[in-house]
Amino acid sequence: MNHNLFPYNFEKINSKYYLVTSLAGDFFFCNEQNLQKLLNKNIDENFSNFLISKNFLFGSEGDFYWNNFKYKILKRKILPKTIGYYMIVPTLRCNLNCSYCQVSRVDENTKGYDWDDEILKNFFNFVKKNSLSSIKVEFQGGEPTLRIDIIEKIINWCEQEKIDAEFAICTNLINFNKDIEKVVANEKVHISTSIDGSHDIQNKQRADDKERTSQFFKNFDYISNKYGIEKISALPTFYNFDQIKPTIDFYYSLGLRTIYLRPVNFQGFARKKHPESKTQINTWNEYYFEALNYIFENNYKNKNSFIMEFAFATNLRRVFQKGSNGHLDIRNPNFAGRDNYIIDFDGKLYPSDEARMISRIGLVDLSMGDIVNGPEKEKINNYNWNQISDVNPDCIHCSFQPYCGIDSVDDISRYNRIDLPKHKTSFCNNHISKFRDIFSRIVSNDPVNIFNLTGHLTNIFTLNPPFSKIIYD
């Protein structure tokens, strides 16, 4: 077989090994001597067989290896052609006033910030026109349970129309009355809430009222005891990074299975009270990796009580599971208006919640039509040209490009422009660190890492690695 190499990149991963990744996302590790052989195309039979097994070589255009490579690229890039995910904001009103609220909110008693019947009717028409028979709907806010009547109407409509739908209500769980429970009891409804830490931290950062905080935990316990812990997912927000480990411990004690470690999001109104969140990515990542080690060691020690870190699991799936293209924060291309929409309280359409945030603060208008008149196709097309990393001069030389994503909204939010060199952006620094960490763990052959890599990838924590031979010595 002739030695035709597919496009690839390389990266020094530790003192001993280089990571080599193909454009299709296959990878292996080798020492500097073997990297030189690869660069100079000095490939002997042994090396050639290894490279064929890793899909780095092909014989001729159109052969099995060529088509296999092409299929993998396609799988990594393809997005659904119908809308399968709706994030809707039935009201912007909220009964809390958290310091890092991303999207602004208005007081619980303010008028004019709720969906009306016209928006609801148009939403139903929009779903009929743009979706197939299976959708997910996430109710955001404000506090969406203040309009539990709208949530109930949408769920009932989906059932009537025989749409296979799943629902997530993102609620602060301060109020949990009978009307809300009637909706939540539906097995297709899940609860997503915010838990920043123990009672004291939660009180300080969220409710600022001991009685309300007690009520929150009472409601959390009630739902998890009655419907099972799987009914609820929770996520914290950190601005004091010393609180990360105690919060992880608290999540273990609550029996939660997932934690999403993230700092305050700069993209919305939180930037006013937490301006440091614009540039703190390197500091955050130091704490993040320390926290990840803490989770990994605890999982390994406990052996029967595991927590998965959401960002790690998401990035890991991008490496190993071709077609994990559903997470808007990390996918390429990241086209707007293809498979999801955010529909705000006033019926405006947005490509992501972050786009809604920076539009609300007046930085740029990233609304892309509205529920009555439909999407603005020209605006969407213009936006989408910048949502492809395959033509970016920085990304094309990056070893992590097959797995990474692209997010113009994050760049606009921090720098007011999208053409900054990628290595100077928070998005790039964040993801390069995270992918480098993943591959360092993969090549480490350390049992704690293998145990957690397998667990985060398959939900089954074992010492069997989820990959075959990955080092060419």
Partner 1 sequence: MRKTFLFDAETEEILSRSLIRLKYLYPKAEIKLENKAIIFEGEENLETINQEVHKVVYSEKIYLETLDIRKKIFNDL
Which is nearer to partner 1, 15 or 225 (by Cβ)? Answer: 15
Q: How far is the CB of 423 from partner 1 (least distance, A)?
A: 8
CA angle, 352 then 101 then 221, to 5°: 100
Nearer to partner 1, 5 or 418 (CB): 5
**Nearest to partner 1 of 40, 160 (CB atom):** 40
> Which one, 40 or 46, has the nearer CB to partner 1?
40
Least distance to partner 1 from the beta carbon of 390, Å? 7
- Please give the structure tokens belonging to residue 272: 């006013």
Minimum CB distance to partner 1 smaller for 77 or for 278: 77
Residues in the chain: 473
Answer for the pair 406, 430: CB distance below 8 angstroms, yes or no. Answer: no
Cβ 74 to partner 1 shortest distance, Å = 6
Nearer to partner 1, 11 or 108 (CB): 11
* Closest CB to partner 1 among residues 5, 470: 5
Q: Is 263 exposed, middle or buried (0-12, 13-18, 19+ CB in 10 A)?
A: buried
Shortest approach of partner 1 to residue 308 CB, angstroms?
33
Distances (CA, A) of 433 to 269, 282, 288, 345: 27, 9, 10, 37
Q: What is the C-alpha end-to-end distance of the chain, expressed in Å?
A: 22
Q: Which is nearer to partner 1, 11 or 376 (CB)?
A: 11
> Residue 7 CB, nearest distance to partner 1 (Å)?
4
Report the C-alpha gap between 119 and 147 in whole angstroms. Answer: 14
Cβ proximity to partner 1, 51 vs 450, nearer residue: 51
> CA-based angle 380:76:51, to the nearest 5?
145
In the complex, minimum distance from the CB of residue 398 to partner 1, in angstroms, rounded to a whole number? 9
- For residues 145 and 174, what is the distance between their CA atoms, to the nearest angstrom? 10
> What dihedral do alpha carbons 298, 302, 306, 308 form, nearest 10°?
20
- Name the nearest CA neighbour of 101 among 138, 137, 141, 139: 141
CA distance to 45, 48, 57, 364, per residue, from 42 (Å): 10, 10, 13, 52
- Please compute Rg for the chain using Cα positions: 23
Crossing angle of the two packed helices 353-360 and 408-415, in degrees rounded to 10: 20
Least distance in angstroms from the C-beta of 472 to partner 1: 17
Smallest gap from residue 70 Cβ to partner 1 (A): 6
Q: Measured from the CB atom, is 23 or 270 closer to partner 1? A: 23
> In the bound complex, what is the minimum distance in angstroms from residue 8's beta carbon to partner 1?
6
In the complex with partner 1, the residue whose CB is nearer, 199 or 423, is 423
Smallest CA-to-CA distance from 409 within 374, 448, 446, 383 is with 383
* Residues of this chain that bind partner 1 (CB under 8 A): 4-12, 23, 39-40, 61, 69-70, 73-74, 77, 390, 393, 396-397, 421, 423
By beta-carbon proximity to partner 1, the closer residue of 33 and 40 is 40
Q: b/e for 332-368, b at 16 or more Cβ within 10 A? A: bbbbbbbbbbbbbbbbbbbbbbbbbbbbbbeeeebbb
What is the closest distance, in whole angstroms, from the C-beta atom of residue 389 to partner 1 in the complex?
13
- Could you give the CA distance from residue 188 to residue 137 in angstroms, rounded to a whole number? 10
| Inter-residue contact 426 to 279 (CB < 8 Å) | yes
Smallest separation, CB 404 to partner 1 (Å): 16
Q: How far is the CB of 473 from partner 1 (least distance, A)?
A: 21
On whether the CB atoms of residues 430 and 288 are closer than 8 A, the answer is no
Strand 93-94 relative to strand 106-107: parallel, antiparallel, unpaired?
parallel
How far apart are the C-alpha atoms of 43 and 47, rounded to whole Å? 6
